[in-house]
Structure 1
Amino acid sequence: MRIVAIGSRVFVTSFQLAGVKGVKVETPSEALTEINRMDENSGIGLVLLSDDIGKEIRYQLTSLRAKRPIPLIFELPSPGSKKERVDYRALLKQILGV
């Protein structure tokens, strides 16, 4: 399984330096389109998404996570972003439909 980073130029370049393939996007809708292209047959097991892009599409990402477990979509802080608290209990409830 491969890893792909999706986000701004700086976010993606930092992962490319470590040997991770990256997709540069400008808008959250572009990121969502790229994530929708990835399926279980693409060989991608982990998507590292910039949190500044993920904030605006978080609801759609949660729906995707509920429908398909692979690839795992994980949001990471983008360079210069502020610390944000995540309510994992609420996120899990949304994924499970409780």
Structure 2
Amino acid sequence: MKIITVGSRQFVTSFRLAGVQGVITTPDKALGEIKRLSDDPEVGLVLVSDDISEPINDQLTALRAEKSTLVFALPSAGATKTDVDYRAMLKKILGV
């Protein structure tokens, strides 16, 4: 299984230094890239920078419910700490 990063040049480059492949993209094109990656049977984990994931959070939640590929948002460089309600996210994914 592959791990792929999706985000800004700085975010993707920092993971490339650790040997993780990535796709440099903008928030407008990110959802299409993430969908394409989650359709790839060799990709098991997609790490997305939070500045990319925030505008498309609802679409990512729906995608998480449909696909087996894990899509996880990580803070980008200089991001402020935000609280995530994982219980609410799981309820959305599970349809509860």
Shorter-chain TM-score: what band? over 0.9
Question: Which residue type is aligned with residue 57 of structure 1?
Answer: I
Deviation at 1:68? 1.2
Deviation at 1:45? 0.6
Gap regions ≥5 residues in structure 1:
none
TM-score by length of 1: 0.93
Q: How does 1:1-98 map to 2 (within 5 A)?
A: 1-26=1-26, 28-38=27-37, 39-41=39-41, 43-69=42-68, 71-98=69-96
1:5-26 Cα deviation digits (max 9, x unpaired):
1000000000000010010012
1:40-60 Cα deviation digits (max 9, x unpaired):
52x011101000110000000
What SS does the aligned partner of 2:44 have?
strand
Superposition RMSD on alpha carbons, in Å?
Answer: 0.9
Q: Point out 4+ residue stretches in structure 1 off by more than 3 angstroms.
A: none
CA distance in 2, matches of 1:23, 1:56: 18
Question: Which residue type is aligned with residue 44 of structure 1?
Answer: V
Gap regions ≥5 residues in structure 2:
none
What SS does the aligned partner of 1:18 have?
coil
Question: Which residue type is aligned with residue 21 of structure 1?
Answer: Q
TM-score by length of 2: 0.94
Deviation at 1:36? 1.1
Question: Which residue type is aligned with residue 96 of structure 1?
Answer: L
